[in-house]
Amino acid sequence: MTRVQTRVYVIASGTRIREVARKAPDSPFGQLDALIGTSGVRVLPAKSLITPPELNVPRGEFGDRLAEVLSRHVEVSDVDDETTFYASFVAAIRSARTSLWLWTPWVARRVRMILPELRAAVDRGVRVTVFVRDPSDQLQKKPANLSLVEDLRAVVHTVVPMHVMHQKIVVVDERTVMLGSLNALSQSWTREVMVTMRGACFARKILTHEHAEIFARPPKCPRCGQDDIEIRRGAKENWYWRCYNTRCPTGGGNKAWKKDIDLWRRPGSA
């Protein structure tokens, strides 16, 4: 405290400060209580700092700066293996109120136990987006797995195929991140680990790194008019959309319709 140059933040219970100040007015809490209400001292209710950002609670310039500082805090709340992950995963889905993002390379029989939870999330207004491997993958293109992908499409808002993707990520309400080695929609018997971290700034960084908002809006193929579009990365590290519809007039393969993805475009803009 003696080295503070311009600003100091104190996070404390106002009730506790007043209680201590009454008993010991010369104590640090007593001195702090005496400062409250004077010029240069701002008081911000803690509830305004932990309110979900989508509620847009007005905090003022000072409150917004403080909220940004606190949002950089990341709490590691759980570490799960393959035997405990699904209880944590289901709890995370049930806690979702606005958005649920999944990166899960393969879709297999495991998805059947998760579909009811995803359907319930969608029914209460949660937007669910899932990134999976494209149908050229040796496991994903099996008829049984392709059928399960269609079951998934019937429940969630968006399913985006991505060539050779291998990320295993869950992001809930832009605040909670589950990250590790486990495929959430296909895991069966392998040893895995998933770490759950809470922090709005960290969650947003993950979504930004994965280009989530842009990648979640694939176009229709202008040649065949279908939405069988996957994401690929080129030799020059450029991302592009590619039509994988086998009946597309382009003929597929190297002639398939492609379009570079503009990573600087704002989501929702033309």
User: Residue 110 pLDDT more than 60?
Assistant: yes
- The reply to whether 126 falls in a domain is yes
Domain boundary among 182, 198, 215: 215
Q: In terms of pLDDT, which residue wins out, 39 or 133?
A: 133
Residues 146, 46, single domain; the answer is no
Residues 101, 208, single domain; the answer is yes
What pLDDT, in 10s, does the model give residues 59-92? 777 777 777 776 677 889 999 999 999 999 999 9
Task: Average the pLDDT over each of 1-5, 20-24, 124-128 and give the range with the smallest value.
Answer: 1-5
Residues 35, 122, single domain; the answer is no
Residues 167, 94, single domain; the answer is yes
Across the range 182-201, mean pLDDT stands at 95
Residues 193, 120, single domain; the answer is yes
Residues 83, 181, single domain; the answer is yes
Rounded CA separation 124/103 (Å): 22
Residues 154, 182, single domain; the answer is yes
Q: In terms of pLDDT, which residue wins out, 105 or 50?
A: 105
Residues 192, 91, single domain; the answer is yes
User: Residue 31 pLDDT more than 60?
Assistant: yes
Number of separate domains in the chain: 3
pTM of the shown model? 0.77
User: Residue 170 pLDDT more than 70?
Assistant: yes
For position 167, which CATH number holds? 3.30.870.10
User: Residue 107 pLDDT more than 80?
Assistant: yes
Instruction: Give the pLDDT score at 55.
Output: 57
Instruction: Give the pLDDT score at 66.
Output: 73
Q: Which domain holds residue 146?
A: 78-215
- The reply to whether 2 falls in a domain is no
- The reply to whether 8 falls in a domain is no
Residues 88, 129, single domain; the answer is yes
Q: Which residues of 23-36 are buried (b: 16+ CB within 10 A; e: fewer)?
A: eeeeeebbeebeee
Residues 85, 209, single domain; the answer is yes
- The reply to whether 246 falls in a domain is yes
Residues 91, 207, single domain; the answer is yes
Residues 211, 225, single domain; the answer is no
What pLDDT, in 10s, does the model give residues 201-236? 899 999 999 999 999 999 999 999 999 999 999 999
- The reply to whether 190 falls in a domain is yes
